[in-house]
Structure 1
């Protein structure tokens, strides 16, 4: 339906434009919306089709033939891979799963890309989030065409090492060699982590505290090797190739060299989605700049997006893809207008103004998406970007020189100390900015409706800047006003909402009551509040309380909840039949008799119970035709009242 509607709207808008014999911004808007709708629809259909094709392979254990496609970031307990499953049935196409190896013998080498693995296992679904609004890793992998998972130890598999070298593995080996060279030159681990993160996108050595400092300072994009890094490298290359770019032949040669070097850098990083889209985008933009067709930069930007989405439609779901193109789109459209507003005579003020304009326009483009995905506003992000980005060329250059120099010979102690001082100054500056907690606005409520309205408002503002028509300004103001109305209506609705939760926590029992914009968690154990921050933000909960006084009976939601735990002492009220029966802490009860006495309408078992008990209770509930909800399988039980 979406595909047909998009096609009809696009055709009507195109005919209208032809009848007017002029450029129509209506056509631009309809075209953008139509192609976005088509992209989401086609990618969604593709993911659904792939999942349905391979769902039969999830039913039983079999000898699986796998090929390692990609090595993911390890953690202290596991090493993860993306592996291609090669079905024995030639009529079924191959597909990818997540392989998780639990660490055993630390002396065994990790699996390499293109290694073949034989494993007698059953493919399982990736775990869905057990608490509402946690990160959904299953959906994230599904949009990368990864449809299942297997956990294993090394002694369970038969490995056939690869005899060929893939581009991916060659990139991994090269990055390992770079790390070894930096260690041999005497760099400390935290400085190597900074160099690798900034230049190679390799963050496994980066400490959690350092990562948080980048995030709270509003400069996390510096660690994501993407458009900013490629743009800086492009500027350096344009500077070096400028002497030979004055003739037509020299311009063609330099453009080929520049694009080749950019793709060489993409190889070094490992052809990650962020670097591929950045190099693709800047390859088109560099061609526009070199051929003196800057007016077509916006068209080439859209063309690069189309090329990437044709290659992989699921790129449209990636946050990095959306943020990258939103930032560049905002810079291309708004930077020239803003930069012309003030003209400086001297070099330093002129460059400072340019950096300010680029930073401001980029942040304006990504601001709606950042609010929607991250729900926070680093109050000092503009200051940190203005102070850091002008020196980023020096910092990035220092890191690149360190890598190249250490690959040729051991860096002398004097120069190594200078490099480390530069890195240390950056880290201390970011820590100082990040420690100013009063300037960080967190847990900002921003709904999908508000995101759509804010993006429409941004487009209308850009149209007003170029067209100077008051109609666009009035529509822009109307969108902002409608956003305020939407915010007031949605937050008021959430404040009036009353909900009862049975959360899933491993070996713990947690229930929650939401009312009057407040969530009360009742448990006898300690909790990680971070697990509930997503729920607190999305439900616009101002307060979150924890209480330890758990009762075995609650009269709520027009019915009643009765809790049976391992204590064996209960106060059964003599009122209407129990609506919900909750089993916690593995009580030794005869569920058949309990059902006969209490007549529950639904049975709930949380994460505090033994799995063998849960299996027995599920059979009993099925026998008595009573719905059974296990939070470990179905996630948090939610009931509005």
Structure 2
């Protein structure tokens, strides 16, 4: 097809992603890929002299299988041992410490250690709260001794997989460092990344000097410099619930603004001798410098690589296909780091830009307003709609919500992003002149204040956010396949793509219906690692049985309610509830009868001398479920962080909870 001939990297990328997925999820496929490559190589050699049909098909299939095999070999997660051992080590600080509730957090890279295994490993380090910690800078060298352990998850069901999240960044271990156990030495590592990080910190300090309001400064730092560590959960929440979170993450939008500004400001270079090459070199260097300062997020990497390709192609008088540039940039990034394919930002970034490029022109043609202002708003609306088409499935899968007024928030945040980004650049340029920097800071602060005020108003609109949407990985795959097939049908006008799109949509509906049926018939029991309660589930009805009146809403419980599509739970405190009766749950003194399963429990006493705690009564209550172990009449046990599915039990059983 002409589309693939004109955009060869789209084919290369598809083969590469196929190989990566097989490498990560089907490691047994290696032998099959090798056999396919050998068979196709033999077929190509057999037709090499005559090059008669189907030589071309054999050769294309051979190239495709080779790309898939190479991607397969580059994929796969390393086997990381679950070590927990004390080490003496010398390390380099990679990030400025960030304040947490009980400590400061940073990332270090170990240069030398007692065990050579840890050398070159990146480690999350938690530092005791001390003023000396604030003196640490990227590039500083530390001599320390500490116990290094594998990053652990909470092991609660449906909880965020922090271990896998950090493994994608090639960070597998963490440690805690009290002030007495480390010492900063005078040697400082040199290098462009360290210099860029220190430069960004200087810029943030300039903002702190002139912008007093913490929230405004945090938003400006995130929007312009990619520094989001100080953002409060409340600010993140209403940006996310209004569909404006993409503005806080430095992305292609920001790189595109800078690209347009630079091409306009430096356009005069094209008119002088050797100016075109100078124009390209300067803009590429400035774009990559900005990407470096903002922390090299996947979206910034994608945009910077893509704009670099477009610049180079235009300088060579070879018009670049936007689809080929997008695919080439994705291929290059995945070639360097295959784990990027699991980054949510990477996926959303490429889905958004591809969808905008494809759908924006088609949506824009639906209306052509004559008024320039109305036309500008219409184009902004079209961009928002086009981006949402491509990112809808991924957003729902990862964030479990959909903001209905995303288009309205984009009318605010996209113009605001232009104003704030431009004002911030001028502010940094004018920072040596104190009165001018102060004046620009007021403009910047006012623009941010108005933006935040309007977003809060949108967030307060009733029913502006659909929450607790749960779709499975299988449903996500079906939706994405349906979207891709639909795009090919619109582009190529071939009915087989329409058939494929409809088939995947029907598959999505069948998967959703099957999931609903299974959830309506579920009878389960969950005991959480972090939450001090039992969760009894019958269809969509569910009961949370607490040891005492728990004021804290444990994060793992809403996750389970969303994923299992449950109604609002009925909460029961054991110490105050002697008798409780519904058709599926009966509580009588120390016995709980749920569906056809029996739970018996007793209170375990805590020895004050053994625990060494000041308040043994409080500890006794908190221990009711923290050390809970279920034992059945056949002496089996229910582990924490696991689901006991009553549908899989052949006979009713009695569970004894020893508190």
Q: Same fold (TM over 0.5)?
A: yes
Cα separation, partners in 2 of 1:79 and 1:255, compared to 1, 3 Å: same
Distance 1:162 1:314 in 2: 33
**1:264 aligned partner:** 289
Asked whether 1:99 is paired with 2:137, we answer no
Measured in 2, the distance between the counterparts of 1:7 and 1:297 equals 34
Give the aligned partner of residue 202 of structure 1. Answer: 227
5 Å-filtered alignment, 1:219-298, equals 219-245=244-270, 249-288=274-313, 293-298=318-323
Cα distance, 1:75 vs structure 2: 1.8
Corresponding residue number in structure 2 for 1:2: 29
Q: CA RMSD in A?
A: 3.8
Aligned structure 1 segments of 4 or more residues deviating by more than 6 angstroms: 7-15, 20-24, 33-38, 584-588, 625-630
Residues 319-347 of structure 1 deviation map (CA, whole Å, 9 limit, x = unaligned): 11111111122223333444455555554
1:164-175 equivalent positions in 2, closer than 5 A: 164-175=189-200
SS in 1 for 2:601: strand
Q: 1:43 to 1:500 in 2, by over 3 A?
A: farther
Could you say which residue in structure 2 is the equivalent of 1:48?
78
Equivalent residues in 2 for 1:120-159, closer than 5 Å: 120-159=145-184
* Counterpart in the other structure of 2:604: 566
Contact 1:586–1:608 (Cα < 8 Å) also in 2: no
Give the Cα separation in 2 of the matches to 1:607 and 1:66.
Answer: 40
> 1 CA distance for matches of 2:595 and 2:69?
40
State whether residues 86 and 147 of structure 2, in contact with CA within 8 Å, keep that contact through their aligned partners in structure 1. yes
Q: TM-score, normalised by structure 2?
A: 0.78
> Matched residues in 2 for 1:321 and 1:513: separation?
38
- Tell me the matched-pair count: 582
- Asked if 1:84 corresponds to 2:109, the answer is yes
Cα separation, 2, equivalents of 1:638 and 1:419: 55
Alignment partner, residue 407 of structure 2: 382
Q: Quick one: structure 1 residues 228 and 73, their matched pair in 2 at CA, closer, same or farther if it must change by over 3 Å?
A: farther
The answer to whether the Cα contact below 8 Å between 1:181 and 1:407 also exists between their aligned partners in 2 is no
CA distance in 2, matches of 1:493, 1:407: 65
- CA distance in 2: counterparts of 1:402 and 1:265, whole angstroms: 16
1:115 positional shift: 3.0
Assess if the C-alpha contact under 8 Å between 1:330 and 1:362 holds in 2.
yes
Residue in structure 2 matched with residue 329 of structure 1 by the alignment: 354
Asked if 1:176 is matched to 2:197, the reply is no
Pair 392,464 (structure 1): closer, same or farther in 2 beyond 3 Å: same
| 1:350 positional shift | 4.1
What is the 5 A alignment of 1:353-432?
Answer: 353-411=378-436, 414-432=439-457
After superposing the two structures, state which structure 1 stretch, 108-117 or 195-204, moved more.
Answer: 108-117
Kept in 1, the 8 Å contact 2:524–2:646? The answer is: yes
Find the residue that maps to 2:249 and give its secondary structure: coil
Structure-2 residue corresponding to 1:572: none
- Partner of residue 210, structure 2: 185
Cα separation, partners in 2 of 1:245 and 1:491, compared to 1, 3 Å: farther
Q: CA deviation at 1:214?
A: 0.9
Rounded to whole Å, the distance in 2 between the matches of 1:430 and 1:246 is: 44
Q: Distance in 1 between matches of 2:303 and 2:252?
A: 5
- Which residue is 1:525 aligned to? 549
Q: Indicate the larger mover: 428-437 or 189-198.
A: 189-198
Task: Name the CA shift for 1:403/1:462 in 2 (closer, same or farther; >3 Å).
Answer: same
Give the drift of 1:432. Answer: 0.7
Q: Distance in 1 between matches of 2:94 and 2:437?
A: 39
1:37 & 1:489 partners in 2: Cα distance? 35
TM-score normalised according to structure 1 size: 0.80
Output the CA distance in 1 between the equivalents of 2:564 and 2:532.
22
Question: For the residues of structure 2 that align with 1:22 and 1:495, how far apart are their CA atoms?
Answer: 53
Distance 1:9 1:402, change over 3 A: farther
Aligned to 2:506: 481
Deviations 1:374-399 (A, max 9, x none): 01000000221134324432232122
SS at structure 2 position matched to 1:360:
helix
- Per-residue deviation at 1:351? 3.3
Is the Cα contact below 8 Å between 1:502 and 1:606 reproduced in 2? no
**Structure 2: unaligned runs, 5 residues or longer:** 1-27, 45-51, 576-588, 607-616, 648-659
1:88-141 Cα deviation digits (max 9, x unpaired): 4558763222211121x3255343333333333332222212421111211111
Q: Secondary structure at the match of 2:188?
A: coil
- Give the drift of 1:418: 3.1
Structure 2 CA distance for partners of 1:348 and 1:289, relative to 1, 3 Å: farther
